[in-house]
Amino acid sequence: MMLLFLAPQNIVEGDGWGRTAEPIRIDDTQFEETIAAYPSSAFREDPESLRVRRKLSAHIEEFLAGYPYKAFQNTLGISAYETYFNHPDRMYYALSVSLPWLMRPEGEKVRDFLKEQLARTPPYAVDGFENKAGAPREAFEVPETLRLGGRGKAASAVGVYAFWCYTHHCGDVDARKSHWEALKARMQPLLAQDYAFDLKKNHANDEAQKLNGDLAGLIALIHLARSNADAETEKQAKARARTLLEFRVNLERTNARILEKTNSSSAHLHASKLARYCDLVSPVAEAVRRLSDGCAAERLKAFREARNGWPLAFGDRLIGGENYTNPPHFVHALWAGVVTIERLEGAKVLSFVDVPWCKGDFYFMEQCAGALWAASGRGWTQIPR
């Protein structure tokens, strides 16, 4: 009789997926193509697109009717809790990218809502919402004594990109000018200090996610500087954005370890994250696809196909250890892959749309918008200089 000895395992991770490539330098053409690109919308009237469009509209209607909400607190298991949606950056981004896919009445409500909130809770602010303020988001009861206190904090500059998306989709050109000085002040630390990122290190504090968000913020700053005829700020933002774009592309080319440990849960243990695909806005995701020599798409495909239940809300745990369910950021990250990097066929992407994790699930709004864009043919528009 043959005996098999298996090492115990409670962390689902790996040493890396797929091949790597040599690092590259980003040239002028590649950089300008990245910052000028933005998804366009051309809705298709097929049954699956209509289904997702209705789900998106109904979810946003529910959110607007019940606003404000507490932060969504997700119970993982031994990793304890994670909190989501406690900062306006996610709210502005999700609602803004949803706008092209909404019917006129819902779209007007969203525009009015965002414009009204702008003076109170700008998406580029450092401080976010109080975690315990508002109505519960969850479909399950979270005792107040177990809710995490404090308020949300911006983890990156992605809120600047969310602000620009709002002005782009809502046509609020005046806001670009009236908020310009505050935006420059918010981005000054990012422009003033050298940006360090270790391409080979296995990070635990979601540094790759922050890199994505900071790069998105710098791209938005370039557009906003052009709107305000601020040549000096545009010059500084372009120099820093180019450095971060090289970091992001070369992370994909040189480092195959896409799943990293994370300290994002309250217990700071037994949790893993696809951090490099979180807060990955469409133009940056497209640059990663285009400039990574196929490495990104190959890895994501292999990783995703080994986890067939990945799109399900509260699905069985597929990453992390000794937890009950997947974390929402796991689904959020893989959606960025299937929509833009893997470029799965649009009908397939639509079929992955499941149900939201909670009321006001901003990730779900982004998933619906991304799936509808994929089904429409993944068109791009060029942002004028």
Q: Judge whether 162 and 124 are in contact, CB under 8 Å.
A: yes
Concatenate the DSSP letters of all residues of 271-332 into one string.
Answer: -EE-GGGTT--HHHHHHHHHHTTTHHHHHHHHHHHT-TTTTSTTPBP-SBSSBSB--HHHHH
Q: What's the confidence (pLDDT) of residue 14?
A: 53
Which residue do the tokens 């790597």 mark? Answer: 20
Q: What's the confidence (pLDDT) of residue 269?
A: 82
Instruction: Show Cβ contacts of residue 250 under 8 Å, excluding neighbours closer than 6 positions.
Output: 23, 24, 199
Query: For 172-225, how does the pLDDT look when each residue is reduced to its tens digit (9 = 90+)?
Result: 999 999 999 999 999 999 999 999 999 998 898 999 999 999 999 999 999 999
Q: What's the confidence (pLDDT) of residue 16?
A: 65
Q: Judge whether 64 and 109 are in contact, CB under 8 Å.
A: yes
Q: Is the pLDDT of residue 24 over 80?
A: yes
Instruction: Tell me if the bond preceding 68 is cis, omega within 30° of 0.
Output: yes
Query: For 255-314, how does the pLDDT look when each residue is reduced to its tens digit (9 = 90+)?
Result: 999 999 999 888 888 888 999 999 999 999 999 999 999 999 999 999 999 998 999 999
Q: What's the confidence (pLDDT) of residue 270?
A: 82
Query: Which sign, positive or negative, has the C-alpha torsion 115, 121, 125, 130?
Result: negative
Q: Judge whether 22 and 253 are in contact, CB under 8 Å.
A: yes
Query: For 318-375, how does the pLDDT look when each residue is reduced to its tens digit (9 = 90+)?
Result: 887 678 888 999 999 999 999 999 999 999 999 999 999 999 999 999 999 999 999 9
Q: Judge whether 372 and 49 are in contact, CB under 8 Å.
A: yes
**CA distance linking residue 241 with residue 62, whole number of Å:** 37
pLDDT band at 11 (very low <50, low <70, confident <90, very high): very low
Q: Which amino acid is at 288?
A: V
**CA distance linking residue 228 with residue 52, whole number of Å:** 37
CA-nearest of 34, 27, 32 to 286 is 34
Give mean pLDDT, residues 249-257: 97
356 phi and psi angles, rounded to 5 deg: -70, 155
**CA distance linking residue 72 with residue 82, whole number of Å:** 8
Q: 28-140+148-382, which class in CATH?
A: mainly alpha
Q: What is the reported pTM? A: 0.94
Give mean pLDDT, residues 163-175: 97
Q: What's the confidence (pLDDT) of residue 353?
A: 97
Mean pLDDT computed over every residue of the chain: 93
Instruction: Show Cβ contacts of residue 10 under 8 Å, excluding neighbours closer than 6 positions.
Output: 270, 321, 322
Most confident of 12-21, 150-159, 266-275: 150-159
306 alpha carbon, distance to own chain's centre: 22
Which residue do the tokens 């239940």 mark? Answer: 309
Q: What's the confidence (pLDDT) of residue 137?
A: 98
* 2 CB neighbour count, 10 Å cutoff: 3
Q: Judge whether 273 and 329 are in contact, CB under 8 Å.
A: yes
